Amino acid sequence: MDLVNVSTSVLSDGQGESGAYVASPGFSQYRYAWLRDGSFCALAMAAVGRKQSSRRFHSWAVGAISALRGRLYQAITELENGSAVVSDQMMPTRYRMDGTVESGVREWPNFQLDGYGTWLFATYSCFGRALPSGFYETIVDVARYLSVAWHTPCYDCWEESGDRIHTSTLAAIAAGLRAASRMTGQNCFDHTADDILDFVGERCVIGGSFVKGVGDDRVDGSLLSLAVPFGLVKLTDSTFSNTLGRIRDELSSPSGGIRRYLGDQYYGGGPWILLTAWLGWCDRLNHHDDAYGEAVRWVEKQAGKEGTLPEQVLAEPQSPEWVNRWVERWGSVADPLLWSHANYLLLRFGGSPMSWSD
């Protein structure tokens, strides 16, 4: 079975007529469109030559965000005035496939900032400075929003810990602002990205390693984004190299998959397909051929009979007592997860980190 073709088909089939990518078509909690997941899908489709699919996603995102321009402007105004803005007043994490806001699951948080930064980054990766008609204003609006909101605690890329500031979220915002600066010519966004990275260096580095977030010295698999694909630090940067070492030492499962972080209880906290592929992407770019080959083999081994890739592997949980609790609550783990297939394609074909030197 050719997992490249299967993965491409899963992403294509998971893209709605609107252009949005569903997070997971067979998992009821994930039948929505996240800007973060969709941006990685768009990067992957571009990497395999399906650029039109990527463009359709970005056009959908512009429409969905533009429809909430009043909410966006209100949040910017409140933040600029120093007012406390509750999460329901901020921009949503996920949308329905038609671009309207998902609002029916009240106990599930819907405020994250990383998706908007990742979307700006992916938009620049897709179009460069040659923006389609109608994109410019939305890009400026989102960049303004992130510029005033970046130090606001929010849920991380795993939908958790909403009262904290997370390093990978700051990375996504900084990369998005770097991208917005180049797409719009507004240097103020680049200056804010500099401030964010200074903050990361001061508050999110402990013992020579990047850490999960402010006040949390654990390592997290999502820290890979600092170098790949965001290019905020070099792959050879000593702090990033130390972070890679911690990810391998602390988050590797017995079979070689990569977990999210120590203490993870979601479906038992097993190894995630997308993180193992992400680390392998770094290894390929670092010319660590043996480690890259191991990542490819591990990911491909996780494909089911139909060739689809799940969110995580349940056979190697770090919190075994939580596996059945989540299965009883939400059913079997999400399969296929489009982000897993996207990162497999990026593992195989993803390009070098973004260069911000121009």
| Positions marked catalytic | 156, 159, 311
Instruction: Report the run of H or E that residue 205 belongs to, with start and end.
Output: strand 205-206
Instruction: Report the run of H or E that residue 95 belongs to, with start and end.
Output: strand 94-95
**Residue 60 burial by Cβ neighbours in a 10 Å radius (0-12, 13-18, 19+):** buried
- Helix, strand, coil percent values for the chain (each to nearest 5): 55, 5, 40
Residue whose structure tokens are 């010295």: 217
C-alpha to C-alpha distance for 153 and 147, rounded to whole angstroms: 14
Instruction: Report the run of H or E that residue 206 belongs to, with start and end.
Output: strand 205-206
Render the burial of 122-145: b for 16+ CB within 10 Å, e for the rest. bbbbbbeeebeeebeebbebbbbb
